[in-house]
Amino acid sequence: MEKLSFRHATPGPLPGRKSQAITGVVASGNLEILLERVLEPTVCTVEIETPIRGYGDVWEAVIADFVARARPGGLRITINDGGARPDTVSLRLLQGARLMEV
Amino acid sequence: MIDRLADPTSASWYEASARARIDGLLDAGGFREFVGPEQRRMSPHLPLFDLPRAFDDGMVVGEGILDGRPVLVAAQEGRFMGGAFGEVHGAKLVGLLRAARQRKPAAVLILFDTGGVRLQEANAGETAIAEVMRAIAEVRALGVPVIGLIGGRAGAYGGGGLIAGTCSRLAVSESGRISVSGPEVIETNRGAEEFDSRDRALVWRTMGGKHRRLTGGADAFADDTVAAFRAAALNLIGRAPAFDLATLEAEQARLEQRLARFGDCREATEIWSRLGVNDPAAVPATTASAFDALLSGLGETTHDAR
Amino acid sequence: MNEWRRERAAREARIEAGRAQVEGKAEGKVVPADRVVALLEAILRPGDRVCLEGDNQKQADCLARGLVQCDPARVHDLHMVQSGVVLPEHLDVFETGIARRLDYSYSGPQGARIARMLYGGQIELGAVHTYLELFARYFVDLTPNVALIAGVSADRDGNLYTGPNTEDTPTVVEATAFKNGVVVAQVNEIVDRVPRVDIPGDRIDFVVEADKPFYVEPLFTRDPAAMTETQILIAMMAIKGIYAEYGVRRLNHGIGFGTAAIELLLPTYGERLGLKGEIATHWALNPHPTLIPAIESGWVRQVHCFGSEVGMDRYIRERPDIFFTGADGSLRSNRAFCQTAGLYACDMFIGATLQIDLAGHSSTVTQSRVAGFGGAPNMGSDPHGRRHPSDTWMKAGREAGGVGDPSLMRGRKLVVQLVETFGDGLVPTFVERLDAMELARKIGLELAPVMIYGDDVTHIVTEEGIANLLLCRDADEREQAIRGVAGYTEIGRGRDRAKVEELRGRGIIRRPEDLGIEPLDADRSLLAARSIKDLVHWSGGLYEPPAKFRNW
């Protein structure tokens, strides 16, 4: 398994009160994402475990775009990957952020 | 058809995740998960095989309210490792059933979706199956019904099929399958002439929800919606049998009678025909309501055994 | 002897030799299956051009097995001219020397083996054609000496019922029978009277009653249960950004999951957008099971088919207002006519591909597989012979920058590539250089097997958005438009961000949000059917899916 982790500065907290959400399933071509509101509002971290090695730069780009778009301040995001394609990763991240905004 | 799709209570059980099934099954807002994903109680074995883990190890357990009454509920995620029993996965179900001995809920609901034991942690999985069956017997002996709901992608196979056999009552949908050995296992061991696993109509005729319901192996037939499974679960809790000698003797008698009556049948359709189904070939294509009507005209599909 | 009748005399000699082999065993034109090898050895001559009918659906498999068993000392160096190289026997004949040269169109399941045999020099390749191109050459320089074809039933005079999968048969027979060739048909059964005459008996010389029914593969069935949210998102963008935008009524769909998702969104998402009757009314298409909900909801006016699809026969029979059917009630398909319809009478082709390069060239060839083209290049090309206008065609023509007097303007056919940025196993769809070029170099092809040339492609739709190549004014804009929808592939990450934003400002790139589409709304509940069983319900029980698609 390859482990990756990213840390981004964010302008402020993600709106909403939900403290925790989980979306997706660990299956072939899919992934699960756990989002927890446990960090300072100016920080977002993303930790990834993936069986597909060598795609660190793609993950970096996907996560950077997600953070710029959703501004998920305060979230610790943890991903168990089952070999999802980047578009699926983006979609699940946005789904997760929406769940937290409730 | 379009109206049906717009109706949220019609969400497909087969397609829903374990968590979505629990959400739709229970009264809104009342579910409290035990050992939730944030605790990260993941499989200690899968990393040795370079396989990804899931935060809940494919088993969601907790307590909630069903139609105003407290229940304990466990749901398997059939898309993670085929819903297979690993060490953590199995221990969560065993723990839930043991908790039921103290809490005495109105029922324990098990939402099966499993191919059996996880090969990578087979010893732990096999042990868990045995522990679950014992725990179910203990819970039932205390008068708490254990209701199995089967309608997921993976069915209830292997140890999951054994556990299902120990439940008080089972509800199954058409896509649900209940068996111990899976189609591929039978074909591998006995040849395609004995059982052609690629003949999916044969697989469903032999192990699918309609067949299990017709032969009394399952006690309720649900349409493939979350709402239908909720209704079935409520109905079955209300008519769960006692767990006593009389029930076990009735079950033994039922199974002996079934063997005597159908033991020489080569095909599920022959069994259906002997049961009094006029047009057995048409059974797989019938809708849930037509199938219910068919059931009500047949004798042996409903019984007091188990 | 008249100088002008050599071919005719040769044909008569072949037929006489064939009859001699089945003397006393034949009844009328009917030859028993156990005489196939003797018959073929008698009528074939070394070096003959032979069409061993291999369609998408219908395979002359009994005759193929017979040809493989012929004695290579007697039958050798044949030149196979057939659209589909599909069965193992189609290539076995090249291993024994029975055949030497090949001109074909499509080789789906045999793609890897054909590549190996080309590389090993066992096959002398003429060319890989599109269907219409190969059919055209049947009448010019690739006319078969012998055609070995397949049908469902025949009478003793050779009148042939092809069944719903008529496909290539009329074209092959036309070229062979009217130019002094010999036609042998295998059928599943001999009957006193065929349900309808698809091929008149005087064009058939021998009929073989096959030992088992010809093999048919369900090639066009896409299980809705396997459709992903990404495919649904792409389908939503296509409907809103292309079908609605250009008012596309006459069209052809590819056979992938993306276009199947569009078919399933018409009665739901399309209905919500108020597009019923405005788009997707007239089709050149195989009878896709996923089109059933749109048909049942009244979206579809008519469908002409290349061939049929397994399990659709009863449904088609009960919907004669929609499909082309014979007096007997069953579907009448015809590949040559339907390809022509797709080329000239449709305003849009939309389908998937495996690789797209920076110029928009696309190919389904990978380094180890020569899958061939089939009909996609015919559908997916702008026909310069077209002369009738339509709003869709004219709008596309204007966007392509037509100048001068409007009455001298050419329209443009919409040729849309619908792809996900990554394919199975995280393989990128967008590449610097097509594998097809490497393959062509390796096996010495003069032309790389390009499925659709970049200058024919008008739009590329991915989960990232729509690139409108019609509006691009130079090669650089085109490249950045393609990079702009290539997502997280290397090609996509190599985009010039400022240029891409500029293209977006000009509507050359449109993101989901530019189209008013929220990606999180792309949900499976939007599909009119989420399983094969749902399709059966939509059809009122008339659709009978093959066993491998059942879960009941």
B49 shares contact with chain A (CB less than 8 Å): no
Tens digits of residue pLDDT in C41-76 = 999 999 999 999 988 889 999 999 999 999 999 999
Flag whether pLDDT at C129 surpasses 70. yes
Other CB atoms within 10 Å distance of the CB of residue B36:
17
Cβ separation B2–C267 shorter than 8 A: yes
Residue B303 tokens read as: 């019984």
Question: CB neighbours of C373 closer than 8 A, spacing ≥ 6?
Answer: C105, C106, C128, C129, C130, C131, C364, C449, C451
A62 shares contact with chain C (CB less than 8 Å): yes
Domain with CATH 3.40.1080.10 in chain C: 7-209, 224-536
Mean pLDDT of B195-215: 93
Flag whether pLDDT at B109 surpasses 90. yes
C486 shares contact with chain A (CB less than 8 Å): no
Cβ separation A87–C463 shorter than 8 A: yes
Contacts of residue C524 in chain B, CB cutoff 8 Å?
15
CA pair distance C189, C212, nearest whole angstrom: 9
Judge: domain C224-536, CATH 3.40.1080.10: yes
* Adjacent-strand bridge partners of B109: B73, B147
Other CB atoms within 10 Å distance of the CB of residue C410:
15
CA pair distance C413, C383, nearest whole angstrom: 8
Q: How many CB pairs under 8 A join A and B?
A: 42
Cβ separation B55–A36 shorter than 8 A: no
**B113 closest CA partner among B37, B72, B48, B164:** B164
What distance in Å separates residue A69's CA from the closest CA in chain B? Answer: 25
Q: How many CB pairs under 8 A join A and C?
A: 39
CA pair distance B278, C64, nearest whole angstrom: 44
Query: What does pTM read for this prediction?
Result: 0.93
Class of CATH domain A2-101:
alpha beta
Largest Cα separation within chain C, whole Å, is: 82
A4 shares contact with chain B (CB less than 8 Å): no
Tens digits of residue pLDDT in C251-298 = 999 999 999 999 999 999 999 999 999 999 999 999 999 999 999 999
Flag whether pLDDT at A30 surpasses 60. yes
- How much is the mean pLDDT over chain C? 95
Tens digits of residue pLDDT in C4-46 = 999 999 999 999 999 998 888 778 899 999 999 999 999 999 9
Cβ separation C548–B2 shorter than 8 A: no
Cβ separation A81–B50 shorter than 8 A: no
C420 shares contact with chain A (CB less than 8 Å): yes
Identify the chains in contact with A, defined as 3+ C-beta pairs within 8 A.
B, C
Helix, strand, or coil here: B16? coil
Q: Closest chain B residue to C541 measured between Cα atoms?
A: B285
The percent of residues above 90 in pLDDT, for chain C, comes to: 86
Flag whether pLDDT at C367 surpasses 80. no
Contacts of residue B285 in chain C, CB cutoff 8 Å?
536, 541, 552
Flag whether pLDDT at C552 surpasses 90. no
- The partner residue sitting opposite B1, judged by closest CB among C525, C528, C548, is C528
Q: Closest chain A residue to C520 measured between Cα atoms?
A: A95
- C-beta separation of C118 from C89 below 8 A: no
B192 shares contact with chain A (CB less than 8 Å): no
Show the CA angle centred on residue A21, arms to residues A18 and A27, nearest 5°: 170
- C-beta separation of C33 from C152 below 8 A: no
Q: How confident is the model at residue C2 (pLDDT cuts 50, 70, 90)?
A: low
The percent of residues above 70 in pLDDT, for chain B, comes to: 96
CA pair distance C540, C543, nearest whole angstrom: 8
Domain residue ranges of chain B, discontinuous segments joined by +: 18-243
Q: Closest chain A residue to C228 measured between Cα atoms?
A: A88
**ipTM of this complex:** 0.95
Contacts of residue C463 in chain A, CB cutoff 8 Å?
87
Cβ separation C426–A87 shorter than 8 A: no
Question: CB neighbours of C388 closer than 8 A, spacing ≥ 6?
Answer: none
C547 shares contact with chain A (CB less than 8 Å): no
CATH topology of domain C7-209: Glutaconate Coenzyme A-transferase (3.40.1080)
Residue B267 tokens read as: 């095909």
Identify the chains in contact with B, defined as 3+ C-beta pairs within 8 A.
A, C
Question: CB neighbours of C382 closer than 8 A, spacing ≥ 6?
Answer: C412, C413, C415, C456
Q: How confident is the model at residue C119 (pLDDT cuts 50, 70, 90)?
A: confident
- The partner residue sitting opposite A1, judged by closest CB among B38, B40, B52, is B52
Q: What is the pLDDT of residue C484?
A: 98
Mean pLDDT of B186-201: 90
- C-beta separation of C506 from C450 below 8 A: no
B279 shares contact with chain C (CB less than 8 Å): no
Q: What is the pLDDT of residue C84?
A: 93
Mean pLDDT of B129-154: 97
Q: What is the pLDDT of residue B3?
A: 41
Residue A100 tokens read as: 């937290």
Contacts of residue A36 in chain B, CB cutoff 8 Å?
38
Q: Does residue C74 come out as left (phi exceeding 0), alpha (psi in the -120 to 50 range) or beta? A: alpha
Interface of B with C in 217-256 (CB under 8 A): none
In the CATH scheme, what is the code of domain B18-243? 3.90.226.10
Per-residue H/E/C for C110-179: CHHHHHHHHHCCCCEEEEECEHHHHHHHHCCCCCCCEEEEEEEEECCCCCEECCCCCCCHHHHHHHHHCC
